[in-house]
Amino acid sequence: MIATWEMREIGGAFLLGGALAVAAALLAGYWLVRRFERTHARQRQFVSDASHELRTPLTAIRGQVEVLAREQQPEAAEVRRVGGVVLEEVSRIERLVDDLLEFSRLEEEASLRLEPVAVEPFLRRLAAEAPGGDVTLGELPSGTVRTDPERLTQVVRNLLDNAGRHAGQSGRVELSATAHGERLTIRVDDDGPGIPPAERERVFDRFHRSETARDRDSGGSGLGLAICRAIVDLHGGSIWVEDSPLGGARVAFEVPGFEGG
C-alpha cells in the first residue's frame, strides 16, 4: 500500500503540475491577447492612414467638379483644365490602391520563390527599362544572387522610380552594386534634395510624409519604400538611407545569397 505521506506527495505534485499548467496557459493566453491587440492596433492605424491618403485626391476631385458645376456655360479651356486635374488625381488613387493591395499580399503571403539570378544583366535591364531611360550604371559585380526575381525587381524599380521623382534639375540617377562574401549590396543614388538624418528610418514607414521639399507633391503613394523594406526583410536583408556622392540621397539594400562568377 502507498503510505499516507507518499499519497500526499503525489497529490501535491499533481496540484503543483496543475497549477503550473494553468499558469502557463494563462501566460500564453495573455501574450496571445497582447499580440492580437498589437495586430488590431496596427490594422486600425493602417485603415486610418489609407483612408486619409484616399481622402486627399477625392477632396481635390470634388472641389474641381464643384467649381465646374457652378458655371452655367463653362468654357472649353476650363473643362479641359478640370479634366486634367481629375485624371491626375484618379491616377494617384489607382497607384495607392495598387500599392495597398501589394502591401496586403506581402503581409499575407510571406514566401519567396528563390532562384539564381545573374546580377549584372538583371540590373542593366532594369536600368534600361526605367522611366525616361536616364539611369547611369555604376560598378556591377559579376556573379549570381539567390533571390526571388519578381520581388527583387519590385524593390529596384520602386527605388529607381523614387529616385527619378526626387532627382534634381539634371535628373541624375545612378544604379550600382557591390558584393562582399555572400552579401550583395545594391544602391540607387540621386542628385535631389536628399533626406535629413532624422527622417531616414521613418521613410520606410507606411504613408510616412515629411515636410521636406523631397516629399512635397512627389506623386508617390507613401507605400513604395515600405514595400521595399518588407521584401528585403523577407530575403533576410536590410535597407537604409545615407548621403549620396551625387549630392542627394542614396537608398541601399543588402541581401544574402551572392555567389561570384
Give the contacts of 119 (CB within 8 A, at least 6 positions apart).
Answer: 140, 141, 142, 143, 144, 145, 177, 179, 184, 258
Cell of 169: 534639375
Give the integer Cα–Cα distance in Å for 143 and 117. Answer: 8
Amino acid at 100: L
Mean pLDDT across 83-96: 79
- Kindly report whether the global pTM for this prediction surpasses the value 0.85: no
What's residue 79's pLDDT? 83
Residue 170 binned pLDDT confidence (cut-offs 50, 70, 90):
confident
Cell of 13: 505534485
Give the contacts of 126 (CB within 8 A, at least 6 positions apart).
Answer: 153, 156, 157, 160, 175
The number of CA neighbours under 13 Å toward the Cβ of 62 is 6
Angle at 193 between CA 190 and CA 194, to 5 degrees: 65
Give the integer Cα–Cα distance in Å for 117 and 145. Answer: 5
Highest mean pLDDT of the ranges 5-9, 59-63, 160-164 = 160-164
Amino acid at 59: T
Q: Is the pLDDT of residue 96 over 50?
A: yes
Mean pLDDT across 140-157: 93
* Residue in this structure with the C-alpha cell 521639399, named with its chain if needed: 213
CB 116 within 8 A of CB 260: no
Known catalytic residue at 235: no
Percent of the chain at pLDDT exceeding 70:
69
Selected catalytic residue, list 40, 52, 166, 208 = 52
What does the mean pLDDT of the chain come to?
A: 78
The number of CA neighbours under 13 Å toward the Cβ of 250 is 15
